[in-house]
Amino acid sequence: MPMNGSNAVDSRVLTTDVGERPNRLKDLLNAPFPFYLNDDRKNTVLVVAISGFVTLFLYLFKTESELPFANELEWLHGLITLAVLSFNILVLPRLLPAWMDPVAWNVWKYIVLNLVHLLLIWILATITEKIFFCPADMAWTTIAVHASKQVLIKGIIPITLTTLFLRARLLQQNLEEAIRTNQELQKIQSLKRESVRGANPVTLYSDTSESLTLNLPDLLYIEADDNYATVVWREQEVLQKKLLRVNLKNLESQLNNSFMLRCHRSYIVNINAIGAISGNTNGYKLKINGSDFSIPVSRPKGREVMEKISQLRNMMELS
């Protein structure tokens, strides 16, 4: 019997691990990623730089090809790379604005686009070499296989370097934005520290007959789960929680206050409850004062949250 119990535990652990792996992979693929430099002018410079690097790399590290005519065509592959990247990065977003929206860009879409880069470069290289450079009696399949090897082997390094560059740039931008916004938060807290502590009662109504009355400055955040919401506030330095049957949109309309921020589809947060903001390649997180809890900021809301905090600080300085 003990042996059977042990096997049951092992099975549960194994099932949990197997179930968590797809979720971790899904989260990784859906993680935010920059659409290159998010600016046409800068992306044009980036496309030219990548194409120039590819051309230089092909010349410096070229190997003797089994197809003699292909030994002096490094310039051609550079031009093809320039044409494909220019179309995919500068033109395609205008043709497919919904799918290629920079705000919704993520790791999965970035991987797909890089595969499209490689596929188009391979197709154009095969067609161009066959029509203009290779002997007439050479088979299409021979050229296609040769071009595929060249594209795969020599395309990995530019893609890897570009990915590392974009990821480092995203991390730097998020960190800099988080630092600036933390400075804004400190100014807000110093400007209104005393007045915020004053009485400002608010009553939150649920879809049922239940309601909750609390002091608005004591409200920390509200977390939603479908048609239910958990209200979290601090009362005499003790954290309090209450579950209400009401959706977050309804509560947002009830909390018509400049200090309340909708930072995520599942969260409303009180600006005065934010102790610090951290930023990394996955976006921003808001650390709640006096707790270890952090609230995620959804990617579409990131810029809005930062601007709202800055506007609120300016408004308070003028008042």
- Average pLDDT of the residues in 199-223: 88
HSE, side-chain direction, 13 A CA sphere, residue 80: 21
For residue range 137-157, list pLDDT tens digits in order.
788 898 898 888 888 888 888
HSE, side-chain direction, 13 A CA sphere, residue 285: 11
Compute CA 36 distance to the chain's CA centroid, rounded to the nearest angstrom: 12
Task: Report the alpha-carbon distance of residue 3 to residue 165 in Å, rounded.
Answer: 53
Helix and strand counts by DSSP (H, E) for the chain: 9, 10
Q: Which two tokens stand for residue 6?
A: 């042990």
Q: Which residue shows structure tokens 């990548």?
A: 50
Phi-psi sector, 56: left (phi>0), alpha (psi -120 to 50), beta: alpha
Q: Which two tokens stand for residue 38?
A: 């998010």
Q: Which two tokens stand for residue 203?
A: 């009553």
Q: Which residue shows structure tokens 């004062």?
A: 289
For residue range 152-186, list pLDDT tens digits in order.
888 888 999 999 999 888 878 777 777 777 766 66
- Average pLDDT of the residues in 235-252: 90
Sheet holding 274-280, edge to edge: 274-280, 283-288, 294-297
Task: Report the alpha-carbon distance of residue 108 to residue 31 in Å, rounded.
Answer: 8
Q: Which residue shows structure tokens 């995620």?
A: 296
197 has a pLDDT exceeding 60: no
Amino acid symbol at 258? S
Q: What angle do CA 51, 52, 54 make, to 5 degrees?
A: 65
Asked which of 122-126, 231-235, 249-253, 304-308 is least confident by mean pLDDT, the reply is 304-308
Amino acid symbol at 45? V
2 has a pLDDT exceeding 60: no
Task: Report the alpha-carbon distance of residue 73 to residue 59 in Å, rounded.
Answer: 9
Q: Is 123 helix (H, G, I), strand (E, B) or coil?
A: helix
Distances, alpha carbon 171 to alpha carbons 30, 160, 165, 225, in Å: 17, 17, 10, 30
Task: Give me the pLDDT at residue 190, please.
Answer: 58
CB 274 within 8 A of CB 188: no
Name the band, by pLDDT with cuts 50, 70 and 90, for residue 315.
Answer: low
Task: Report the alpha-carbon distance of residue 276 to residue 295 in Å, rounded.
Answer: 11
Its sign, for the CA torsion 108, 114, 115, 116, is: positive
Proportion of the chain above pLDDT 90, given as a percent: 29
194 has a pLDDT exceeding 50: no
Distances, alpha carbon 279 to alpha carbons 106, 275, 296, in Å: 16, 14, 10
Query: Among 21, 307, 18, which residue's Cα sits nearest to residue 181?
Result: 307
Task: Report the alpha-carbon distance of residue 302 to residue 9 in Å, rounded.
Answer: 42
Task: Give me the pLDDT at residue 22, please.
Answer: 58
